[in-house]
Amino acid sequence: MSGARGRQPRSKPTPPDAPIQAEGKGKASPAGGSKRPLAAKTVWVITDGKAGMEVQCVGVAKALGAEPVIKRVAPRWLWRFFAPWGPADPAERIGQEGSQFAPPWPDLAIATGRQSIPYLRALRRQAGKATYTVVIQNPRTGSGTADLICVPKHDGMAGKNILTTLTAPHGFSPELLAKLRKSPPPEISSLPKPHIMVALGGPNAVYRFTQEDEARLAHSIASLAELGASFMITPSRRTPSGLLDAVIEAAPADRRLVWEGQGENPYGLYLANADQLIVTADSVNMVGEACATGRPVYVFKPHGGSAKFVWFHASLRQYGATRTLPDRFGALETWTYAPLDSAADIAREIERRWLERQETVS
């Protein structure tokens, strides 16, 4: 892990929701082990390689106890333009020798992202019931796209083969978080408590970060510093330099760790060892990962937003996981809730439906 109490030379950081080495009902089953029905089966993960997409599918595969085979697609411009509704790029030669999509077909295929959908549909046509197909997130092509479609509740989809969860799946299982908490590195353990993780996103299609937003977030963090908190700060690729600078300046130099792209990403260690977390509202993935900890999560809302984001954040507040970040803290708050683990919830539903399929085809 690379962390520093001062500044490090800036480079373009890996997004904090990048795949780690290696959400929905009930407690998570332990990942791994031959007792899981799909643990020893072949599982394909199909994405266009975006880290934030791939990590969701990999998280579900890991929750099944399986080691996924990663299939990344890169359709040419015409087929990319018509995705997800059009056909797969014929250059892939799906089903033919030499293609990455060729027999023997997998027992399970998990896909996410609009570019992956034509390939999953083609796989489903050729493999038939030999492959159980799952889509993470709304495919935009209807419920007949896959055997099971898993979407956040704020998407508003419903149907017999639709599973809804409060958060998106990820790889931070209860077991992994417990492991990361067991022996924190000295950089973290030497910081005074409470440890506050600050996970920064940035502008996207619906949110923008103004100078006023930067000042509000910095003011809130400075008030936490007055109460004795220490900070573990990590940006994403979308984080504006002004936002990161404002947050760093608000956190005392002797009570902060800042990761800016040098060395191994400590995101998982920060997540697991935080007593409280601050996450910007623009990242569904980072907010969901924060809610896997069971620790208090404050959400900072910049200018902008959309109906889906409003619904998403309202659902997490109603669940009891998050609160809106105040402009100024007068005292440290704390609350508890059952950690959200959508990957485990999705994995259990896949197992249940896959076993039912086996009874009908055997």
pLDDT tens figures, 294-319: 999 999 999 999 999 999 999 999 99
Q: Per-residue pLDDT averaged across 62-81, rounded?
A: 97
The pair of structure tokens assigned to 165 is 């969860």
Q: What is the CATH number of domain 43-170+345-361?
A: 3.40.50
5 has pLDDT over 50: no
Statement: residue 28 has pLDDT above 50? no
Nearest to 293 by CA among 315, 322, 314, 264: 322
Q: What CATH code would you report for 174-324?
A: 3.40.50.2000
**% of the chain surpassing 90 pLDDT:** 85
- Report whether 149 contacts 110 (CB < 8 A): no
Model pLDDT for residues 103-140, shown as the tens digit of each residue: 999 999 999 999 999 999 999 999 999 999 999 999 99
350 CB contacts (<8 Å, ≥6 apart)?
Answer: 38, 60, 64, 108, 132, 134, 148
Looking at per-residue pLDDT, the higher value among 2 and 350 belongs to: 350
**Distances, alpha carbon 315 to alpha carbons 151, 197, 344, in Å:** 14, 22, 19
When pLDDT is averaged across residues 55-80 and rounded to a whole number, the result is 97
**Per the confidence metrics, is the pTM higher than 0.75?**
yes
Does residue 9 carry a pLDDT above 60?
A: no
The residue-averaged pLDDT of 43-55 equals 95
What is the average pLDDT score of the chain? 90
Domain boundaries for CATH 3.40.50.2000 within the chain: 174-324
Q: Is 181's pLDDT higher than 80? A: yes
